[in-house]
Amino acid sequence: MRITIAIIFILSILTTIGFIFWNQEWKFSKPTPKPENLIEIESGDSVSASVLKALGVQNEENVFVHFYNYDCPCSRFNIKEFKDLTIKYRDKVKFVAVLESVDKSPKEIKEFREKYDLGIRLHLDTSGEIANQLGIYSTPQAVLIKNNVIYFSGNYNKARFCTTQNTKFASIALQAMTTGKEAPVFPELATIAYGCELPANGNDLTRIDKFFNFLEK
Per residue in 10-38, pLDDT (tens digit) is 777 777 666 555 555 555 667 788 888 88
Per residue in 37-56, pLDDT (tens digit) is 888 888 999 999 999 999 99
* Whole-number pLDDT of residue 89: 96
**Which residues make Cβ contacts (< 8 Å) with residue 19, sequence separation at least 6?**
none
AA letter at 18: G
Question: Which residue from 117, 171, 114, 116 is spatially nearest to 142, judged by alpha carbons?
Answer: 171
Concatenated DSSP letters of 66-120: EEE-TT-HHHHHHHHHHHHHHHHHTTTSEEEEEE--S--STHHHHHHHHHH----
Cβ–Cβ under 8 Å, residues 68 and 122: no
pLDDT band, very low/low/confident/very high, at 211 (cuts 50, 70, 90): very low
The structural architecture, per CATH, of the domain 34-216 is 3-Layer(aba) Sandwich (3.40)
pTM, to two decimals = 0.79
- Please check the confidence at residue 62 and state whether its pLDDT lies above 70: yes
When comparing pLDDT for 94 and 127, which is higher? 94
For residues 49 and 51, give the distance between their C-alpha atoms in angstroms, rounded to a whole number. 5
Number of other CB atoms surrounding residue 50 within 10 Å: 11
Per residue in 138-149, pLDDT (tens digit) is 988 999 999 999
